[in-house]
Structure 1
């Protein structure tokens, strides 16, 4: 079974539905929750894919403020160098941008919170994961920082009017998503209850933000569960190649 290392920087953003979709697709999930002091491996030996989720930490935090992110950056840099199948979400996508030669900053237009749409860029049509998506898929947003500069050589795959760098690929198999696809209703309500600044930026109240986000959960699943299956196929292909003897 192909092994996916799942890095959870905060218990506030567990893999939830995305984890279920990936497990249903046949992956073995090796989950490491950093807020519970579960150690990260020193390298990616024996790993066929990497998933890095989000959290309330800022991508701009240094090692003194968020020491748990040091190891995450280290693994993302290794994944980039090896072109290992990787899916980095929200904070993960921001850290990926940084280690790949891009940069992040506090969002110039404030937090982006709640249900919204992103639009595929032309390059997405030829991408194995993004190609089958609808033109403007439903997503869930919850971020205060933004990716202001993509990693070196990255391909932009999705944008929206608020923040243009919504999804990108580096190399052939490393993906960053600024938005979320994983939360369920309980997670969304937790986020809304703990982030008054983000909720205020939405122009509504917490209950309205949650109601609108919960309403699109079936549409998110319809689009992004198959996406998860396609990512799982990349991880499985890596596992097959890893276990095939040279010349075999």
Structure 2
């Protein structure tokens, strides 16, 4: 049975018959939300714009199935995966049966497709960027858990929790995130914000979430925080596996992150 890498190479070999691979833009799959009102798969325009601006070709990934064969076929055609934001993840995905009353927009079909996608992308060292819900998917996929609501975090005040629930416009920052020295994110942003690898690096970000990482997955490390809230994670065992809790696609400072993601996809 052909592996994902073999399938991808076979497809790329066919493509090279009409266009040199070196001139192709990386193909980036963006996970889609399922809109129950319209029964349509949707991807926010801002994700696609950010990928295209960084030099990639965005395509929508429909959560049709969480079967291994479907996930393998999806990944075989891609150079990178963007796990997008959206509704809350079902607590059942990380072993909890009770739901906090604040939980909204759960779609388990999407959850289990993306969990399989995130796990397999990690194993294949496929460049992966998780945004908001996407960061949470990465953590749960690799064995971590979530706080179902920020109010459940010990020591967080109501006014702190409100900082993370930003109304429109999303193009403005809401709070600072402290980026860990010697992390991938630190290297991406330090040219503009910190001269040395060990210098502190605060990053002003937007924030539209009410859930957060509780227990970090064993294969991930925390690389960004805002008080007790985990705001960024990454893995050094994978080519590019980075998740952020904010929405960089709306912000002017998104360019370095998306450029690094696309550079990894080209490689």
Query: TM over 0.5, yes or no?
Result: yes
Secondary structure of residue in 1 paired with 2:202: coil
CA shift, 1:117, in A, is 1.5
Task: Give the gaps of 5 or more residues in structure 2.
Answer: 1-23, 36-40, 95-105, 167-173, 194-200
Name the structure 2 match of 1:102: 144
CA distance, structure 2, for counterparts of residue 5 and residue 88 of structure 1? 12
Length-normalised TM-score, structure 1: 0.69
Runs of 4+ in 1 over 3 A off after TM superposition: 10-18, 37-41, 61-65, 125-133
CA shift, 1:53, in A, is 0.7
Match of 1:9 among 33, 43, 64: 33
Q: Per chain length, whose mean CA-contact separation is higher, i.e. which structure has more relative contact order (CA < 8 Å, sep 6+)?
A: 1
CA distance 1:113–1:79, shift in 2 (3 Å): same
CA distance 1:51–1:22, shift in 2 (3 Å): same
Match of 1:47 among 56, 78, 89: 78
User: How many residues are treated as equivalent by the alignment?
Assistant: 197
Name the structure 2 match of 1:123: 182
Task: Give the gaps of 5 or more residues in structure 1.
Answer: 184-219, 238-248
CA shift, 1:70, in A, is 1.1
Length-normalised TM-score, structure 2: 0.64
State the structure with more CA Rg. Answer: 2
Alignment of 1:88-237 (within 5 A): 88-106=130-148, 107=150, 108=152, 109=156, 110=161, 112-114=164-166, 115-124=174-183, 128-132=187-191, 134=193, 135-163=201-229, 165-170=230-235, 171-172=237-238, 173-183=240-250, 220-221=251-252, 223-237=253-267
The alignment's C-alpha RMSD in Å is 2.9
Query: 8 Å contact 2:55–2:262 — kept in the other structure?
Result: yes
CA distance 1:16–1:168, shift in 2 (3 Å): same
